Structure formats: structure tokens, C-alpha cells
Amino acid sequence: MKSKQQYTTLIKAEAKRLGFLSCGISQAGFLEEEAPRLERWLKNNAHGEMTYMENHFDKRLDPTLLVPGAKSVISLLLNYYPPNVQSDKTAPKISKYAYGTDYHFVIKNKLKTLLSLMQDKIGAIEGRAFVDSAPVLDKAWAAKSGLGWIGKHSNLLTRQVGSFYFIAELIVDLELEYDHAVTNHCGTCTACIDACPTQAIVAPYVVDGSKCISYFTIELKNEIPHSVKGKFDNWMFGCDICQDVCPWNRFSKTHEEPLFNPHPDLLEMTREDWEEITEDTFKKIFKKSAVKRTKFSGLKRNIQFLKD
């Protein structure tokens, strides 16, 4: 019978082979430190109209409620930092994570492959794959698993490659060797707090989601409030400001996932192209993209908001 150590080594090697940046493992259990933070965040209405954040409070904090008999949370990072960005500096901007194929599909397939490999090589394992669409506090688990620390902008940070990566989990009923949290390396830096044009980072490590440009351009379905007019720094889908200014992101490395490469026309579109975009062009360029979440009407609304 193989040991926990051998299983852990096998899982991490397979994760690397599948293209994941890194893999860390934590013991599944109740996230005691996160519970009061989440409760406070919700009480302050920092989730705005994202009412789904109020659902499954207990499940968000305890993975054993998501996977009966869960023993381990396997956290994985997948790099998405692009080699090139939009060429027209005056054009409305799209967050780098949304350049290519929707990450939910890309990562879900990799996770299913990893779980299948584990079942083939280890035996009967019950588990579920999660990619930010279920009640799992992925950043908390990634930090607990030693993959980085939570920065003042509330994103996971690593000294090696910054923060331009996705986080995903496999929650399984297999006991493994567990990793330990790493130390925080934000120090006295407040670059992200100072740079946020809508003051969404209301305190170090606390983001009011209802003030975030990503929230306004993606999650908010109603009209964008006039109070944030002129504060979007030309972002029409998502926002990368707090990550772009972070000193640790000078270590970002280009991704190696072909599916994250954008449609050939995307990066060359001018400001005029975006302002005159048709639904056909939208469907062509964003056929498999996360940008589809905001729909053509939503993107047009955002572009118009920047223009007016």
C-alpha cells in the first residue's frame, strides 16, 4: 500500500504535467478565521447585487458539506498572463483573464483529467472539481495550502509570479500530506489601495465588491451609477489596475496555454472598432470567452458609459 507522501507526490507531478503553475494541499475542515470576515463583508453589503454570495454560507466555510467524507482540498493555480495586450492605448480595455477561452471550461477539463488520473493510479476516490462557480473560498484555501498570501487587494500573491492566475480546487475523500501557509510580503506597500480609482479597497485586505470596476462592468445588470462617471480608466470588462500596479507582478511570466490566446482580431481593435461593434462581431470574437457573461447589450452599455 502506497503512503500519503507517495500519493501527494504523484498528484503534484500530474498537476504540473497538465500545465498547472503550482499545487498545494490542505486538510478539509471549517475555515474558522474566514467565518467572521465573510459575515462582516455580507453585513456591510460589500457584495452589492451579487445576492448569490449570501447563499450556502455554511458550505462556503466547510468543504465537507460539499463533498461528504472530504479529507483534502487540493488547490491549483493556472497562469493566464498574456504575451501581448490591446494595441490601441485609447481603446476600451478588457481584463487580461478574459482574452481567450472561458477559463471555467479550460480548467474544469484539466481538473476532471487530474481526478480521473488519481482514480486510475490510486483507486476509488470520491471528489468534486471547483472553478470559482461554486461556494468555495478559493483564495483562502490556496493561501492555507501555501500557494501564496492574500494581498491588500484581496488577490492571492506569490513572490515568484505575482497574481495573474486562476485558482481552482479538487475536494477529495483522500488523506494526503498537507502544506503550510506562507508569510505575507506586502509590507508597507499600498500601491493597489492608492491606484484604485473607485476606492473599492476600503481597508488593507478588504474590498467592497459593490465599488469595484469589475462589479460595475460584469455583475451589475442595471444602469451604472453616475457617481462613478469618469472613474473607470477606460475599462469596459473587468479591471486589472490593482494587479498592474502591484510590484510583485513584475515577475509575471507569459502563460503556456494555447486556449488562453485571444481571437486574432481582439488585440488589434481600435477605439472606433469597439464603439461601432456589432452583435455579429461580438459573437465572433467572444465565441468561447468569459466576456459573454455581460452579453452584447452589457458590453455596449459599458462602452457607452465610457464614451458619454
CA distance 192 to 206: 12
Q: Which pLDDT score, from 0 to 100, does residue 52 have?
A: 75
pLDDT higher than threshold 80 for residue 308: no
Tell me if residue 132 is catalytic. Answer: yes
Which residue ranges does the chain devote to CATH 3.40.109?
Answer: 4-172
Q: Which pLDDT score, from 0 to 100, does residue 1 have?
A: 52
**Percent of the chain at pLDDT exceeding 90:** 86
Spatial contact of 132 and 111, defined as CB atoms under 8 Å apart: no
Grid cell in block for residue 258: 494555447
Spatial contact of 305 and 232, defined as CB atoms under 8 Å apart: yes
CA distance 256 to 112: 20
From first CA to last CA, the distance across the chain in angstroms is: 67
Q: Tens digit of pLDDT for each residue in 200-223?
A: 999 999 999 999 999 999 999 999
Spatial contact of 143 and 181, defined as CB atoms under 8 Å apart: yes
Higher-confidence residue of 240 and 50: namely 240
Grid cell in block for residue 1: 500500500
Spatial contact of 205 and 152, defined as CB atoms under 8 Å apart: yes
pLDDT higher than threshold 60 for residue 126: yes
Query: Region 102-129: what's the mean pLDDT?
Result: 95
Q: Tens digit of pLDDT for each residue in 41-95?
A: 888 887 877 777 877 788 888 999 999 999 999 999 999 999 999 999 999 999 9
CA distance 105 to 152: 29
Spatial contact of 241 and 233, defined as CB atoms under 8 Å apart: yes
Q: Which pLDDT score, from 0 to 100, does residue 48 have?
A: 78
Grid cell in block for residue 261: 490566446
**How are beta strands 156-157 and 149-150 bridged, if at all?**
antiparallel
CATH number of 4-172: 3.40.109
| Sequence letter at residue 59 | K
Grid cell in block for residue 24: 498545494
**89 burial class (0-12, 13-18, 19+ CB within 10 angstroms)?**
exposed
Q: Torsions phi, psi of 140, nearest 5?
A: -65, -45
**137 phi-psi bin (left φ>0, alpha ψ -120 to 50, beta other):** beta
**How are beta strands 72-79 and 165-172 bridged, if at all?**
antiparallel
**Marked catalytic residue, from 62, 132, 173, 233:** 132
Query: Region 151-178: what's the mean pLDDT?
Result: 97
Q: Which pLDDT score, from 0 to 100, does residue 24 have?
A: 98
Q: Which pLDDT score, from 0 to 100, does residue 55 have?
A: 77
Higher-confidence residue of 47 and 198: namely 198
CA distance 20 to 257: 10
Query: Region 273-298: what's the mean pLDDT?
Result: 96
Q: Which pLDDT score, from 0 to 100, does residue 110 have?
A: 97
